[in-house]
Amino acid sequence: MKTTIINYENRSFLMKKLLTICPVCKKPIYGRDIDILSLISSKIDHWPINYVYCHTYDNYPLHSLTIYLDSNFSVRGYEISDFIVVEK
């Protein structure tokens, strides 16, 4: 397991970092949008991880973008889902 040490400057950078742009609605997705600080503080034991980000933007309907992040929090791939069901 790779241990990443994140200081204040790195956290600030990751919050402002443009991770990707949604290919459906063209929404820019930043570290703060996916709550990257929670990912940093969690104990992740494998990379890449997948993060599902549901959003709307510019009159586009709700859709999800699954983002595959490596240990440097760079996007290594993504998938789009237009059909979403969220159950409690």
Residue 23, preceding peptide bond in cis (omega within 30° of 0):
no
pLDDT of residue 5: 55
**Per-residue pLDDT at 37:** 80
Q: What pLDDT shows up at residue 40?
A: 78
Helix (H, G, I), strand (E, B) or coil at 47: coil
List the chain domain ranges.
8-81
Question: Phi/psi of residue 8, each to 5°?
Answer: -60, -45
Sequence-distant (6+) residues with CB within 8 A of 41 are none
Q: If you ran DSSP here, which 8-state letter would residue 46 be given? A: S
Q: pTM (2 decimals)? A: 0.79
Give me the tens of pLDDT residue by residue for the chain, a chain 88 residues long.
444 556 767 888 889 999 999 999 999 999 999 988 888 778 888 889 999 999 999 999 889 999 999 988 899 999 998 787 778 7
